[in-house]
Structure 1
């Protein structure tokens, strides 16, 4: 081990991210960065590809962040194809082993604790799991690094892990089977060691990659330090057909060695605004996931989305899970980052059907994003549906492709440029190394949209509100306006004169959310000594995004409020039954639509209504008791094969106190997520409490 590493001071607080404390939560970690790649379209490896990518990374130094120390970066790294000749050479020299043919071994860089005892524990457990998965551990190679030569800053140096290169040989599997075993090994090791509270340096354990086709060198570095720090990258025998680089700017968060990018299959410039919901839904889907391709219990892979990852890291986790479970890389990306399709009148119907079917399976991972992705067979990039992050690319006459978040990162003679362009909003471009060609977005999506009869499946299985005879329910159930009790009910729900004057009247008369020019000088709910509605405590959550403003024209073209509700199928399968969900064109329902849903008995679907009021005589204790009962009733509805539950406070009276709809909805939602039941039932709300746009958005 290098003497520099062994002399590091024991600064445990610098080795991991802080725990959740006060207003800080590691779950809020987000990235905004520079990303790009260089590749040879025909799949021919060379050291020049790596050199060009290093130049690209250095020229994106301005995209990366650093703290008060200019020599401690937020993170930077490079992903390359497996350099077979280089690995054969160093494995023989450093480990004394002869590697098998390409594809039958994996090499991956692993971050390990600096404490000798804890590092030995990690290595022992990893080797044990490798044997349990039927593979062969060939050894651990020390990755040569030059901490002094790279001028690594004090903070990065004090948190620097020991870096070893793990070699694993396949016993019999090839291609996907071996990859899947490596995936299981990595997930089992991660869950066992990173959450072992007996290890004080548990968060220093991190497997950068474990694949027979790609390998990653990264760390808490800046863009100029990567090549100098990792001596392997300077070896002329280190050749690759691809090289993806990333310079991290951690948005209002803490940098760390493990959160540097590239991730295992992608690099990301931007921000996933829907992260919290995406993670919760992935946790909920774990109860429905089945896949026969894994030779272990699939729950050993859970959680798929890990709590201590950034938004980019969690995106990568889900992408990897879909890839290892049978989907192709490009199909998985299309599922997670769809283009804007609902309002596109010029889009082919087959493609619309493809996207509509996918929307019934998974919600989009939405936000400003430029994402580069690769599995070694393909490399490509996709832009978010708004096009809020830039991506430009060049194809050259010598069969190179260069893509980056800006131009000028690699010197290219204009005479050598065969084609150049920029990635359009929601569009994808892909290099297929086996075919040796660039596949256009149109060709790619036409291929996937015509593989299955998505339109026919939707026609046969989709349930629409218009089918439910909503007009019939107008006669059978009153609206419940009841003018004689309207004032007491409004008072019970906390309506004020200001609510009527400044919020409701503009909404009703002018069909707009009221906007003021003088700002809001009232105290934040969490700092106020006045009683506030629970909705007010979530207003700051809507301000923590880095999106540019969306104009009304773009909003009309790109945004959609349409959604599917009701039981979902197995995410890892694609069958006609996955389309058997209720399509709701707008989240705000009319009284007639709500009545139709409450009395639903259609194509095997039925609804259970749950009263969310409680007896006033029970006092404050009645609230907690009723919340527990509501959650229990929702779980019982699933066991009784109901497809929907309606949470209603219609039963409010002088003797019945309503539970806040936001509180009841959140309690039920998270109760079902925790028990992995959320995807088995849809939740519909009937409430007199919500009146502002913000409140409806929260619900």
Structure 2
């Protein structure tokens, strides 16, 4: 589903200065996880309360009716759904294979709604999945504000099971493949207002243009005592320069994100550039149905697209997240050799998705958080005596007695923390990185296959340049008197950094009537407001 203001070209007709490529957001987010893996409804209730305490991180309109969006990602409430299926005389051979798709169909009453259902059902059958029923989840549309209600999709759930001939290990991959195929066929039918929020046999996403306190009033399943989960990822969206839209509410399909990906255009372009060379024995010729890998409108959604693709192609979610958001390893002299080899090996496969970002993620088996290499977004955690790990973008989202706090801390730059729900393990940053580094002989692979190109020979000459010739060369390469006196001279004579203003009143090089240097035609893109200054001496590891 695309929101009605989305730009598919650099400028759209109704909003000529708007372009969906520049969408970013700054939000409140976090997760709760029962380390033992025991599912409960009380954890879901606590997560909803924690989300409500992040209301101030979002925005609302003047009438306090329209909101940027909120949501929660949990494990599938099997007890609730299996009981409903049993009432309809539908049995599932293995309850663990029950899959649920949360589908945002076109606005209620739309003529496309029936066609969307037909496409989804046919595609699921073509993918070899067993369709069970369409379920209408209990929803109270009256809690929505006027704007959100006018644009609200018809929300349905599609329930599936794994056919006996399909190996369970391939089940998650086939579900991902089916969803991507659905998206392609909807696009082929020129249907742009249908969106699959999640399609999985492990996790389920509830989200929308709601205030956090209204999420459980809207999705009534969330207050059902049978709705149990051992994890809950929650998110309150704040749109810094975007239009609120149902699909852009978070969590996405695997992650929730607070911050910005400043390198997003380069990341997307590089991903597109390598698509022609992609190959995998897991996908074979079906790989073409997964392209383009990145298709979302926001930076959070695009990162989620990349994470999904990697996770569905044979790597676990911790491995994928560390690939996409690696630590600053290049100048870290204390980094163990095995971990350095891991980072160097993967640096040759994919570039980092960089920027001030705190990320929480889950595939239903593992739930965790990661911080960008500069540590420019907060992520604080508490481990309770009851074995619950609470992590959020700020403290105080859950009220705790001091005696119940076993451990508390914060993620540092490039760090991760995770809970393995299958094995009941809390994994800290060092354990995660050591485990990843020892999975394969990365040091040996680099020694055998990495080729370092020789440094080009120096072409500098010690012969002094005549003053007249020097002035001609400066003119030729676009150096002005200001460049020499205010930039070069302080650097060369006093070893000082040039002092310059943040503003620039000179016209853009492409519009200037003066001859400009080649470098003037390029500008660095960065979040000037949200990025605090970095000390080049004390924080040189990330420079």
| TM-score, normalization by structure 2 | 0.91
1:104 is aligned to 2:97: yes
Instruction: Quote the residue 1:228 is aligned against.
Output: 217
Instruction: Quote the residue 1:211 is aligned against.
Output: 200
1:356 is aligned to 2:344: yes
Mapping of residues 63-462 of structure 1, within 5 Å: 63-93=57-87, 97-114=90-107, 115-148=109-142, 150=143, 152-172=144-164, 173-193=166-186, 195-196=187-188, 198-199=190-191, 202=192, 204-294=193-283, 296-306=285-295, 308-462=296-450
Using the TM superposition, give the Cα deviation of residue 144 of structure 1 relative to its aligned residue in structure 2, in angstroms: 2.1
Q: How many residues align?
A: 535
SS in 1 for 2:73: strand
Instruction: Quote the residue 2:540 is aligned against.
Output: 556
8 Å Cα contact 1:170/1:178 also seen in 2 = yes
SS in 2 for 1:56: helix
Bigger-Rg structure (1/2): 1
Instruction: Quote the residue 2:505 is aligned against.
Output: 521
In structure 2, relative to structure 1, the CA distance for the partners of 1:478 and 1:233 (3 Å cut) is: same
SS in 2 for 1:210: strand
In structure 2, relative to structure 1, the CA distance for the partners of 1:277 and 1:470 (3 Å cut) is: closer
CA distance in 1 between partners of 2:504 and 2:199 (Å): 51
Could you report, residue by residue, the CA deviation over 1:289-329 in whole angstroms, capped at 9, with x for unpaired residues? Answer: 111112652011001111x4211111111111111100111
Using the TM superposition, give the Cα deviation of residue 389 of structure 1 relative to its aligned residue in structure 2, in angstroms: 1.1
CA distance in 1 between partners of 2:389 and 2:526 (Å): 39
CA distance in 2 between partners of 1:482 and 1:462 (Å): 41
In structure 2, relative to structure 1, the CA distance for the partners of 1:38 and 1:337 (3 Å cut) is: same
Using the TM superposition, give the Cα deviation of residue 85 of structure 1 relative to its aligned residue in structure 2, in angstroms: 0.6
Instruction: Quote the residue 2:51 is aligned against.
Output: 57
In structure 2, relative to structure 1, the CA distance for the partners of 1:388 and 1:496 (3 Å cut) is: closer
In structure 2, relative to structure 1, the CA distance for the partners of 1:296 and 1:13 (3 Å cut) is: closer
Could you report, residue by residue, the CA deviation over 1:467-502 in whole angstroms, capped at 9, with x for unpaired residues? Answer: x3744x76xx99999979776665555444444444
In structure 2, relative to structure 1, the CA distance for the partners of 1:13 and 1:404 (3 Å cut) is: closer
Greater relative contact order: 1 or 2 (C-alpha under 8 angstroms, separation 6 or more)?
2
8 Å Cα contact 1:102/1:212 also seen in 2 = no
CA distance in 1 between partners of 2:519 and 2:189 (Å): 36
In structure 2, relative to structure 1, the CA distance for the partners of 1:556 and 1:495 (3 Å cut) is: same
CA distance in 2 between partners of 1:418 and 1:311 (Å): 36
CA distance in 1 between partners of 2:141 and 2:320 (Å): 38
SS in 2 for 1:286: helix
SS in 2 for 1:287: helix
Could you report, residue by residue, the CA deviation over 1:561-591 in whole angstroms, capped at 9, with x for unpaired residues? Answer: xxxxxxxxxxxxxxxxxxxxxxxxxxxxxxx
8 Å Cα contact 2:478/2:516 also seen in 1 = no
Q: Give the root-mean-square deviation of aligned CA atoms.
A: 2.8
Using the TM superposition, give the Cα deviation of residue 262 of structure 1 relative to its aligned residue in structure 2, in angstroms: 0.7
| TM-score, normalization by structure 1 | 0.71
CA distance in 1 between partners of 2:297 and 2:463 (Å): 47
CA distance in 2 between partners of 1:282 and 1:376 (Å): 26
In structure 2, relative to structure 1, the CA distance for the partners of 1:533 and 1:153 (3 Å cut) is: farther
CA distance in 2 between partners of 1:544 and 1:526 (Å): 23
Using the TM superposition, give the Cα deviation of residue 418 of structure 1 relative to its aligned residue in structure 2, in angstroms: 2.1
8 Å Cα contact 2:378/2:394 also seen in 1 = yes
CA distance in 2 between partners of 1:396 and 1:295 (Å): 46
SS in 1 for 2:364: coil
8 Å Cα contact 1:34/1:405 also seen in 2 = yes
In structure 2, relative to structure 1, the CA distance for the partners of 1:512 and 1:161 (3 Å cut) is: farther
